[in-house]
Structures are given as structure tokens and as C-alpha cells.
Amino acid sequence: MFPIFLPPQVHQLTESTSIALAQQIQVQSLNLDPAQQKIETSYVQQGQGGTPILLLHGFDSSVMEFRRLLPQLARSHETWAVDLLGFGFTERRGDIPYSPEVIRKHLYSFWKTLIQRPVVLMGASMGGAAALDFALSYPECVEKVVLIDSAGFTNGVPLIARYLFPPFDHLAVEFLKSPKLRQRVSELSYVNKSLASEDALICGSLHVYQQGWHQAIIKFMKSGGYPYLGDRIQQLPQSVLILWGEKDQILNPQEAYKFEERLPNSKLIWVPESGHVSHLEKPELVAEKIIQFA
């Protein structure tokens, strides 16, 4: 059975890993601060033992992004994946400014409520920038950091977004919902194009049918998204594992060298025959490297 808060399109999933993860999505009520109402926050948890691993998805994505990686990690580690505020299946309220600062506060509330121990924090694409931002702000919560084809030197949010006004902002975000666009991005994300399947398209689109998706994406884009982190990340105290698809067509692989150069205690590993989503394309290899690091 699928959770009742997921859209009906979830019944179109065909791959066993996709179906299994969707069935395991849970919700936890969290406060951003004592004065605010609770936020119904979606997440998945599997596994026991070891240092907890917390997975952060990319821009306009969800925990479904980890349908292949999370079960691999959960074989030896307590593993979590959470839908960041404004994304995935986490509740989107109209009175919240969806910015990196508020996303950070929400993530801390999730950690404090459910995990309460230092984690290995892994972020993919925009999730990498969110992981770096969180580790710098709450170093006591993060033991180590893993970056997968990470944003941080490249924002990923078009600068024009902050200058969009109604109705053009809604139209621009509606374009992001286009199945043709999303399929094209999926194809660019993989080296093995057969993985850009109908199931992959559904996994990458389920969250766009949730209430408030348009307004949350507009607010996040107008906030400017995650800023350039190049100067700040040199202060990062944790050790960092950088995993990067050798044939990434979304983020320039040269960005990997920038992270390696700026992060004082880092190691770069290239994922062969892989694109922007190596955790989906080579989940066994990526899990092996993360577990060794953890």
C-alpha cells in the first residue's frame, strides 16, 4: 500500500525499487520554531547500526531519488532520506519563505527530532550545497560529508528567476513541469540512456502534483537559491568524500577539482561510465565508497 498523501500517479510505478521506496515514505510533524505551526515532513528510514547516514536530494526532487542507493547503504548503516522544505512530499505552506536559511532550520529540526546523533551527511547536486551549508552552520550534527556531483560553485538557479513577476513566474515554473523537459533532463543525467525510463520520469515528477509546488519553487528561485560557497567551504572542519560522474553533462566535472582544492580534508573519486546521477546509475559502487568512508 502507498501512503495516502502521495498523488495517484504513484500507481504508475513499475520498478520494484521505486515501488518499495514509495511504500516506505513516512511523515513527521516538525516545528521551524516554537511560534510556528508544525510542518508535515516526509522521509524514509531503513537499516540499523553504524554512523547514521542522512541523504539530501537535488533541486526539484524528492526522496525517490534514492530508491536504488538507500537500500544498499541500509545493509550496514542506519540510513535516512528527507524531503527538504519546499521540495518532495514535505508540506508546503503559503506563509513560509522557502530560502536556504529556512531549509537549514527545518533540516536541523528533523535531525534534532529523529536522529540526535552526528551523521554522515550526503548531498547530491543542490543537496550537496545544502549539506555544506548545514555542516558549516551545525558542525556538531555532522561527522563527515559526502558530495555527489554537487552544486556549490554553480548556483543552479537562473539569476533571472528573482526578477520574475506574476504571471510570468508561474508560467516559468509550469514549464519545469513539462514531461518533455523533464524527460530531456533525465536523459542528460545518465550515460546509460535506458535508465531514463518511464518509471524514472514518474519518480522524478511525483512531487510536482503536490499542493503548493508552484509557489514553493517560485519562492525558492526568487530567494537566489544556494549562493556561491567557495569562500566558506574552506572553513569546513569535517572530512569530505567527493564522488563525481566522469561524464556529467549537468554540472561540469571541473567543479569536482574546485571542491578538492578548496576543501582542506577531502578525497575525490570519479565514478566511471556515470553521469550526473551516479547514485542512480552506479548505486552499488557509490554505496561501497560511502560505506568505506563512513
Distance CA 279, CA 287 (A): 8
Query: Does residue 170 carry a pLDDT above 80?
Result: no
Strand 38-46 and strand 26-31: pairing? antiparallel
Q: Per-domain residue ranges for the chain?
A: 11-293
Confidence at 39, pLDDT banded by 50, 70, 90? very high
Higher pLDDT, 252 or 200: 200
* DSSP code for 53: E
Q: What are the residue ranges of helices labelled H in the chain?
A: 16-23, 69-73, 100-110, 126-137, 168-176, 179-189, 198-203, 213-222, 254-262, 278-281, 283-293
Residues 240-249: what's their mean pLDDT? 97
Confidence at 167, pLDDT banded by 50, 70, 90? low
Q: Please give the share of the chain, as a percent, with pLDDT higher than 70.
A: 93
For 181, the grid coordinates are: 523537459
Confidence at 221, pLDDT banded by 50, 70, 90? confident
Query: Does residue 168 carry a pLDDT above 90?
Result: no
34 Cβ contact list (under 8 Å, min separation 6): none
Residues in the chain: 294
- Taking the mean position of all CA atoms in its chain, how far away is CA 267? 21
Q: Which residue has cell 551549508? A: 133
In DSSP terms, 142 is beta-bridged to: 119
Distance CA 200, CA 202 (A): 5
Residues 78-102: what's their mean pLDDT? 95
221 Cβ contact list (under 8 Å, min separation 6): 157, 158, 161, 162, 164, 173
Task: Say if residues 69 and 280 touch (Cβ distance below 8 Å).
Answer: yes
Task: Say if residues 29 and 41 touch (Cβ distance below 8 Å).
Answer: yes
Query: pTM, whole model, 2 decimals?
Result: 0.94
Query: Does residue 232 carry a pLDDT above 60?
Result: yes
Superfamily per CATH, domain 11-293: Alpha/Beta hydrolase fold, catalytic domain (3.40.50.1820)
Query: Does residue 189 carry a pLDDT above 50?
Result: yes
* DSSP code for 168: H
32-to-36, 77, 129, 205, 241 alpha-carbon distances in Å = 6, 28, 20, 26, 30
Instruction: Judge if the upstream peptide bond of residue 167 is cis by omega within 30 degrees of 0.
Output: yes
pLDDT at 175: 74
For 118, the grid coordinates are: 552526528
